[in-house]
Amino acid sequence: MFLVFYQIFIGNRLKLHIACFLHKILETGYPVYLRKKLIFRTSTHSRDTRYNDQLNIPRHSTALFQRSFSYIGPKLYNTLNTNLKFACSYWTFKNKLKKYLFDQTRIYYIMAHARSGRYCFF
């Protein structure tokens, strides 16, 4: 029997928490003050484009705003695959996202070990 341990880098762990919180807000609509800040592109214009399922990223002029939830949340959400965005429940979304982030980490490890001359596949 083999045990699989998921190791996710700190940056990806932060992405996991933000994306799960964002998914919960979009699913439930609470808290209302944060839900009002998340605007889909379909509500800003009536044109049918391929980016209809993405959130609108607000314009900014400072580096400080780039660290806010209003900016990081939509930017992260727009980078996710479509099958991740429209997961049925919160737990399905969280598990799929964990697997996706782990696969990214695993690919990084394979590439890092391949460069050093040692091949170690997880």
Q: What is the mean pLDDT of the chain?
A: 81
**Residues 6+ positions from 13 with CB-CB distance below 8 Å:** 101
pLDDT of residue 6: 58
The stretches of 1-122 forming alpha helices (DSSP H) are 10-28, 32-35, 69-79, 82-85, 90-116
Handedness of CA 81, 25, 29, 95 (dihedral sign): positive
pLDDT at 74: 94
For the whole model, what pTM was predicted?
0.75
Q: How far apart are the first and last CA of the chain?
A: 15
**d(Cα 103, Cα 65) in Å, to the nearest integer?**
30
Tell me the per-residue pLDDT of 5-48, one tens digit each, with 9 for 90 and over. 556 778 889 999 999 999 999 999 999 999 998 888 777 667 77
Residue spans per domain, the chain = 10-42+56-116
